[in-house]
A and B are shown apart, each in its own frame.
Chain A
Amino acid sequence: MIRLFWIAAALAAAVVAHVSFLLFVPGYMFASEIARMSKGHGANHFFILPPEDQAQLLPGLPRNGVTGICLFDVSQGSVTLSANLPDGFWLTTIYSDKGETIYTVNNRQSGSNIFNVSLSKAPGFIEMLVQATDKERPEFDSGWTVQSPEPRGLAVVWYPLADPALRTAAASAVARSSCSSALPPSQ
């Protein structure tokens, strides 16, 4: 009888361990890598990744291309990604911090190398009910609007290059893009 109890307890522990592993381990490992890459930059800032970090984050892409990222945090208000990219092919993708792609656009789909994407937190069920009742809607900047299911995420701009010698100049051009919070800077 006691053995049966422990077997049942082991099964319960297995289920809890399985679910806990799925929920926390991948997110923790990914967050650790991102924290290492963004050290010194912080949230809501756009910066260019060094080639080694780019190869880690996007291993299928040649490292002589240019990748810029912005770790956004919309928990305190909307964040605007202002892209100002050079001519040629580029790809902009916005991920939640769970790795879910929530928006992606390339140069052909965009039609312009200069655009704004306003990022905000997707309303929860209660907020949607309140908005529907009060006829309130969030206000956004001009440009595209993206609502993230998670408060934090990652905007990634990839600009491929055929010639590694052009990387420095291309990185400077991609770095004209910015990421900014709608909140005033804290005192």
Chain B
Amino acid sequence: MRSLAEGMAYLVAGIIAGMASAYVVIENTGDEPLGGNGIWNSRAEGLAGSSAFYVRAHFMMQGRLPPAPGQIDEATAETDSLGKALTGDCRYKLVSTGQMPRWWSLVLLNTGVETSSQQAIASADTTIRESDGSVIVHAAVSPQPGNWLKTDAARRYTLLYSALASGGQRLASTPPFTITREDCP
């Protein structure tokens, strides 16, 4: 009897380990850092490579579609330039790093909040460019001069950058924005 109980414990542990390893593989496969500042990660290359099955599974587990390859590129950032997690407690300055594509957007994702009635977003259609063509966006809880990306207080978040893949700049090798922490209690 004791041997049977011990065996069942082994089996349950095996099942849990198998499922956990699958989850870890799905979440990590193909998530490659973009060159440069090391803040941004992208699954664009993974979607086109041999690990595409796992990368697609990552998107499907979130109940969403992957970006159309060759049409829209995506990258995510969870930390600032110092490697600290992005949080609504702090104010950040985001500065574009090169020529901007014809269309782009920067969406703030909080778990469960992105589908609320308010979408925190800055995009090519809603931002004002600097005289040199660059874009500066301030991410903060309270309104900011210039381009403002509203964050939620005391919540960690992820920034999702999307851009049309056509044009001179491809996301695969160029991080879109630097993220500098400006003010933090």
Contact = CB atoms under 8 A, between A and B. Distances in A.
Given A55-B115, A58-B64, A104-B68, A22 B13 contact: no
B114 to A, nearest CB: 5
A25 interface: yes
A8 to B, nearest CB: 9
Interface of A: 2-3, 5-7, 9-22, 25-27, 29-30, 32-33, 51-53, 55-63, 89, 91, 93, 95, 98-101, 104, 106, 108, 154, 156, 160-162
A30 B56 CA distance: 11
A110 to B, nearest CB: 12
Contacts of A61: 105, 162
Contacts of B70: 104
A16 B56 CA distance: 20
Contacts of A15: 18
Given A11-B14, A13-B15, A29-B63, A62 B6 contact: no
Interface string B154-174: 000000111000100000000
A162 B64 contact: no
Interface stretch (B31-39, B80-88, B119-127): B119-127
Given A52-B115, A56-B115, A62-B121, A33 B10 contact: no
Interface of B: 3, 6-7, 10-11, 13-19, 21-23, 25-26, 52-54, 56-72, 74, 103, 105, 107, 109, 114-117, 119, 121, 123, 125-126, 160-162, 166
Contacts of A106: 71, 166
A160 B70 CA distance: 17
6 contacts: A52-B116, A60-B72, A62-B123, A62-B126, A93-B68, A108-B166
Contacts of B74: 60
B17 A14 contact: yes
A56 B68 contact: no
Contact of A91 (B7, B17, B72): B72
Contacts of A17: 14-19, 22
Among all A-B residue pairs, the 6 with the closest Cβ atoms: A17-B18, A10-B14, A60-B162, A33-B63, A14-B18, A13-B14
Contacts of B69: 101, 104
